[in-house]
Amino acid sequence: MEVTRMSAPLGAVVEGVDVRSLDDGVFEEINRLFCEHHVLVFPKQNLRPNDQIKFANRFGELIPFPYMALQDYPNLIELSNKGKARDVNQHWHSDMTYHEQPPKLTMLYALEAPEIGGETAFANQELAYAELSVGMKKVVDELTAHHSAEGLAKLYGEDQQAAPRSLHPVARTHDETGRKSLYVCRAFTRRFDEWSREESKALLEYLFAHSVRPEYQGRHQWRVGDLVLWDNRSVLHYAVHDHGDDTRVIHRCQVMGNAPY
């Protein structure tokens, strides 16, 4: 197994392994690397849907996704840009923060990839938290925020009133490493529970901008056969749609996480 860093703020590329056949010791090492680097890339994998599901299952229980499930594979969805002007994931977010128990990790496998562009951007939220001042850390440590899927419901033409909502700490603690991350995102975070909507606005704007400073970011350029997993407890991500109609087809699944604390 050969591990090289992907970018200064986050990510590692793991070569020389076939994720279909890992003994428990190697898997444990992979999980350790995952918690340390936040994003792992496994190039040149050769996976059928069941192989991806089986590997993801080693991290925990899969969360089915209500839309776009593949026939025969309710836990796997297909992300495709065919016939779409924009990507629904073209915004900074951590996955499903509007749920009580958001997925701890999301795993994508590329079946088709554009020659150039169509990257996924990531931002390290442990760094974002660590680089806040002592005074600001004290403020965010005391706050909880309301997250909601209203924006997504609007996008999918669904009932916004019925969209799922949840309340989470603004600085969450990683259940495996004990490290703290900033846990807000422009896509889903609406306001602080302890503050009025008006009061929340300015600080949230500051945190949204701070959380995705270029110094915290790394990007992945997709190649066919890439398997990529990211840690929703400690990174934000953004699907960069700059590849026009060049085909990009990805299989996606997600693994259940803890209720953030």
Ligand X SMILES: O=C(O)CCC(=O)C(=O)O
Binding track, positions 122-151, relative to ligand X; x by CB under 6 A: ------------------------------
Burial class (CB in 10 A: 0-12, 13-18, 19+), 87: middle
Tell me the backbone φ, ψ of residue 259, rounded to 5 degrees: -70, 120
Shortest Å distance, C-beta 151 to Fe ion: 13
Under the criterion CB under 6 A, does residue 239 sit at the interface with ligand X? Answer: yes
Cβ–Cβ contacts within 10 Å for residue 93, how many? Answer: 22
Under the criterion CB under 5 A, does residue 150 sit at the interface with Fe ion? Answer: no
Binding track, positions 68-87, relative to ligand X; x by CB under 6 A: -----------x--------
Q: Which amino acid is at 60?
A: G
Under the criterion CB under 6 A, does residue 252 sit at the interface with ligand X? Answer: yes
- For tokens 């020659």, the residue is 115
Pick from 75, 97, 106, 217 the residue near ligand X by CB under 6 A. Answer: 106
Under the criterion CB under 5 A, does residue 95 sit at the interface with Fe ion? Answer: yes
Under the criterion CB under 5 A, does residue 231 sit at the interface with Fe ion? Answer: no
Radius of gyration of the chain (CA): 18
- The per-type count for the chain, helices as H runs and strands as E runs, is 6, 16
Contacts (CB under 5 A) with Fe ion, residues 55-94: 89
Q: Nearer Cβ to Fe ion, position 17 or 250?
A: 250
- For tokens 């529970």, the residue is 193
Distance of CA 11 to the CA centre of its chain: 13
Pick from 72, 71, 14: nearest CA to 39:
14
Q: Nearer Cβ to ligand X, position 31 or 80?
A: 80
Binding residues (CB under 5 A) for Fe ion: these are 89, 95
Which residues contribute to the site for ligand X (CB under 6 A)?
A: 79, 89, 95, 106, 108, 120, 237, 239, 250, 252
